[in-house]
Amino acid sequence: MATESKDRVFSGSVAEIYQRYMVPLFFEPYAEDIARRLAPRKPADVLEIAAGTGAVTRALAKALPPSTTIIATDLNQPMLDEAATHPIARPVTWRQADAMQLPFRDASFDAVVCQFGAMFFPDRPRAFAEAHRVLRPGGVFLFNVWDRIEDNDFADEVTNALAAMFPQDPPRFMARTPHGYHDRDRILRDVRDGGFIADAEIETVAKRCRAPSARVPATAICQGTLVRGEIEALDAPRLNEATEHAAKAIARRFGNGIVDGKIQAHVVSVTRPANVARW
């Protein structure tokens, strides 16, 4: 059964720009955070879902023991194709897979990891149930999601700038999807509905995002995410103009040289309890 939605498809140059700009700016700091949290557990087998272009995969490959098996999956093959072109510290298995229909047997992994992918799942409890199913007893599900767009400076600035440029139909992808799944109570409820009976831990983590110029985050968001599709649907020839408009908005707030903005995300960790002995 197909589970695509308009906010889940990356292809062509979008994947390349995503890797070149979005990953270093926004994803690598949290990828290192995920790897740091998982490393002390020394898992034997790790499954990554919604791996994108492999930011977390590369961090895990460096941080985990050499004996750990890593399988990195994503629904969108162009993202995996891009991921496979970049150097990595050890062999990993790249595999196309739907997070809501994982092609793995029950209790196959010590850890399931997902970075900034849960926001895109059409049915999050179902995806979380799949993570629960493939985890071994005692295994951990570790994922992160972006906090409110107002707590993420560049995404907020670009969204507001584009709303001013296209007031009749503002491009709202960033607010609607990447930053649309930030409510902690909702996250906890979805995790429980996915079958995790242990209490999930949620930590809100703020980091800094630095770029050599305002043009870099503007290009990342306007051309390396599905904001690009929204702009092109409105007026395709104005993509570069929209990018420049967003860059000027960032520069007005953060300056014309190096720009430094806040990014913020929730990091969620929940364990599948070990089997309870029956008497």
10, pLDDT greater than 80:
no
What is the pLDDT, as a whole number, of residue 17? 86
What single-letter DSSP state applies at residue 98?
Answer: -
The two beta strands, 259-271 and 69-74, are unpaired
Mean pLDDT value across the chain: 93
Q: Taking the domains of the chain in order of start, what are their residue ranges? A: 13-271
266, pLDDT greater than 50:
yes
Mean pLDDT of 250-258: 96
Q: Which residues of 221-236 are buried (b: 16+ CB within 10 A; e: fewer)?
A: bbbbbbbbbbbeebee
CA distances from 195 to 192, 200, 271 (A): 5, 11, 11
Given a contact cutoff of 8 angstroms between Cβ atoms, the answer to whether 72 and 93 are in contact is: yes
CATH architecture of 13-271: 3-Layer(aba) Sandwich (3.40)
What is the pLDDT, as a whole number, of residue 15? 81
Residue 137 parent element (H or E): strand 135-146
Main-chain phi, psi angles of 23, to 5 degrees: -65, -55
| Residues ≥6 apart with Cβ < 8 Å to 179 | 119, 146, 147, 148, 149, 152, 155
What is the pLDDT, as a whole number, of residue 1? 31
What is the pLDDT, as a whole number, of residue 3? 43
Q: Which residue carries 């996915």 as its tokens?
A: 194
CA distances from 193 to 66, 171, 203, 220 (A): 35, 32, 20, 34
Given a contact cutoff of 8 angstroms between Cβ atoms, the answer to whether 48 and 57 are in contact is: yes
Rounded to two decimals, the pTM is 0.92
